[in-house]
């Protein structure tokens, strides 16, 4: 007796005998791949390194010997005809694949939906980065390296992750925030920015970008601490330091007494963020505060000017959280600042960051032998002194110099990097003249200063 149920059973059995075996499963998979990606069942499919069993299974299926060789090819139109003529599937190979392996997916639509979900996931990050040129290259780097997709298993996970990263970025640079507090306020988890956590990994690389450093870093604890400090976030308030010399201090506060003692001794002071955070009053400076980029300037000033040196602060590259705090305290005290740094694009970025911060506090910022005339004179002197030498080139992308637009033009034209150490004599003479002194390098100081630069 044959009824619809029995007929269906016989058709299913016939189909499984024809295409249900393990040795022809590869044929079904190839046909399904074609159907799910919107391609037609035309042409041939080939299996490299086919086994003897697979070759015999195709010979039984097609009724003729397989060609010699290590690969095995089957015509899909021929396979469709065989399925139809066998009565296993009236609608041919497409029906057979669906009955054997289940409903087909639309892989093209799935891919489009997944791409749309990932695009939506990075939306919060793109909003936070928009208009911030210093983060543009970092944003491209994230896509190029696939960092986000390595850290997030799906678009939904990525969306939650990047919303937190975006919240952190909106707070950077900071005025001196503990990392645990920043994490708690932005992510609801005081440990979200810890080493190895996904949010921490992405936010740390963004901090390096903001500081003009390599996005990946070297992975060490010191590098991580320095990168956070460069954007005003401290992992603890004792490791963030700032170097200064000749600040007047006072006799009333703990910080003031430290500064006064060090000035009297003619020695530089190394201040922790903790000391600076515990000081709530503005700091008064006796005269303009000179700001340099490199510690060697402070060392030379201490060697050769001692207690007679005018107020001098070293940002040590991108200012640490302690550095920003000291600048803020001096700005609140009405200090007028004079800035000098390396004549390279990294140095220009640091100078602009300091200028923007100080100006935003209502304080006056001026360059200190850090303009086009100074650069041109140094570049000419270097070229004359080393006509055959290969002079160091300024690395990085050019940036503007709003305090003297001609400086950026000159630096781009010459392309020569001039480190701050090459201007020591000019800077020291200037510091001495501020006191009404006539500066002449002392022989013993010259030896100490030379040693400090090595």
pLDDT, tens only, 96-113: 999 999 998 888 887 887
Which of these three, 194, 209, 234, is where a domain ends? 234
Residue 286 sits in the same domain as residue 334: yes
DSSP letter (8 states) at residue 416: B
pLDDT, tens only, 362-385: 999 999 999 999 999 999 988 887
Residue 198: which domain range?
A: 116-234
**Count of Cβ atoms closer than 10 Å to residue 21 Cβ:** 15
Residue 307 sits in the same domain as residue 445: yes
Does any domain span residue 96? yes
Is the pLDDT at 238 greater than 90? The verdict is: no
Query: What is the average pLDDT across 17-32?
Result: 91
Give CA separation, 391 vs 396, 416, 417, 419, in Å: 16, 7, 8, 11
Residue 96 sits in the same domain as residue 220: no
Residue 313 sits in the same domain as residue 431: yes
Q: What is the CATH number of the domain that holds 306?
A: 3.40.1360
Residue 55 sits in the same domain as residue 14: yes
Is the pLDDT at 290 greater than 70? The verdict is: yes
List of E strands, 332-407: 336-339, 364-367
The count of structural domains within the chain is 3
Q: What is the pLDDT of residue 2?
A: 43
Query: What is the average pLDDT across 335-343?
Result: 97
Cβ burial of 331 (10 Å; 0-12, 13-18, 19+) is buried
Name the percent of the chain lying above pLDDT 70. 92
CA-derived radius of gyration, the chain: 35
Q: Give the pLDDT band (50/70/90) at residue 451.
A: very low
Cβ burial of 117 (10 Å; 0-12, 13-18, 19+) is middle
Is the pLDDT at 30 greater than 80? The verdict is: yes
Which of these three, 234, 255, 282, is where a domain ends? 234
Which neighbouring-strand residues pair with 75?
Answer: 44
Sheet-wide strand order for 364-367: 269-272, 241-245, 312-314, 289-292, 336-339, 364-367
Q: What is the pLDDT of residue 114?
A: 81
pLDDT, the chain, mean? 88
Residue 271 sits in the same domain as residue 156: no
Does any domain span residue 131? yes
**Count of Cβ atoms closer than 10 Å to residue 390 Cβ:** 6
Residue 19 sits in the same domain as residue 97: yes
Residue 368 sits in the same domain as residue 253: yes
Residue 218 sits in the same domain as residue 247: no
Pairing of strands 336-339, 364-367: parallel
Which of these three, 105, 137, 162, is where a domain ends? 105
Residue 268 sits in the same domain as residue 401: yes
Residue 392 sits in the same domain as residue 277: yes
Does any domain span residue 110? no
Residue 281 sits in the same domain as residue 302: yes
């Amino acid at each position: 007796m044959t009824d619809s149920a029995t007929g269906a059973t016989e058709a299913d059995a016939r189909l499984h005998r024809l295409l249900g075996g393990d040795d022809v499963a590869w044929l079904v998979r190839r046909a399904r791949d074609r159907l799910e990606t919107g391609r037609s069942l035309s042409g041939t499919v080939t299996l490299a390194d086919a086994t003897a069993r697979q070759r015999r299974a195709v010979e039984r299926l097609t009724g003729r010997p397989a060609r010699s060789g290590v690969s095995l090819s089957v015509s899909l139109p021929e396979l469709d005809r065989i399925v139809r003529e066998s009565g296993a599937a009236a609608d041919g190979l497409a029906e057979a694949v669906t009955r054997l392996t289940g409903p087909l997916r639309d892989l093209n639509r799935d891919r489009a939906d997944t791409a749309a979900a990932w695009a939506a996931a990075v939306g919060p990050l793109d909003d936070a980065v928009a208009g911030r040129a210093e983060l543009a290259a970092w944003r491209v780097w994230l896509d190029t390296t696939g960092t986000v997709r390595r850290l997030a298993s799906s678009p939904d996970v990525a969306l939650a992750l990047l919303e937190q990263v975006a919240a952190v970025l909106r707070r950077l640079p900071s005025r001196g925030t503990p990392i645990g507090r920043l994490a708690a306020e932005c992510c609801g988890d005081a440990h979200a920015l810890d080493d190895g956590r996904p949010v921490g990994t992405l936010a740390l690389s963004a901090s390096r970008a903001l500081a003009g450093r390599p996005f990946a870093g070297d992975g060490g604890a010191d590098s991580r601490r320095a990168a956070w400090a460069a954007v005003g976030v401290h992992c603890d308030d004792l490791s963030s330091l700032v170097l200064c010399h000749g600040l007047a201090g006072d006799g009333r506060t703990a910080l003031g007494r430290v500064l006064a003692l060090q000035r009297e001794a003619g020695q530089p002071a190394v201040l922790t963020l903790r000391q600076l955070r515990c000081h709530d009053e503005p700091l008064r400076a006796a005269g303009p505060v000179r700001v340099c980029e490199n510690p060697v300037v402070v060392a030379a000033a201490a060697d050769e000017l001692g207690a007679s040196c005018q107020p001098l602060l070293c940002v040590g590259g991108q200012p640490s959280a302690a550095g920003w705090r000291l600048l803020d305290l001096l700005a609140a005290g009405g200090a007028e600042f004079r800035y000098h740094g390396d004549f390279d694009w990294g140095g220009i970025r640091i100078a602009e960051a300091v200028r923007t911060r100080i100006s935003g506090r209502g304080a006056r910022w001026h360059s200190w032998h850090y303009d086009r005339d100074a650069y041109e004179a140094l570049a000419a002197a270097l070229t004359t002194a080393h006509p055959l030498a290969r002079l160091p080139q300024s690395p990085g992308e050019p940036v503007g110099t709003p305090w003297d637009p001609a400086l950026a033009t000159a630096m781009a034209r010459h392309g020569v990097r001039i480190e701050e150490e090459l201007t020591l004599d000019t800077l020291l003479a200037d510091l001495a003249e501020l006191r009404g002194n006539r500066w002449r390098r002392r022989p013993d100081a010259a030896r100490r200063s030379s040693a400090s630069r090595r």
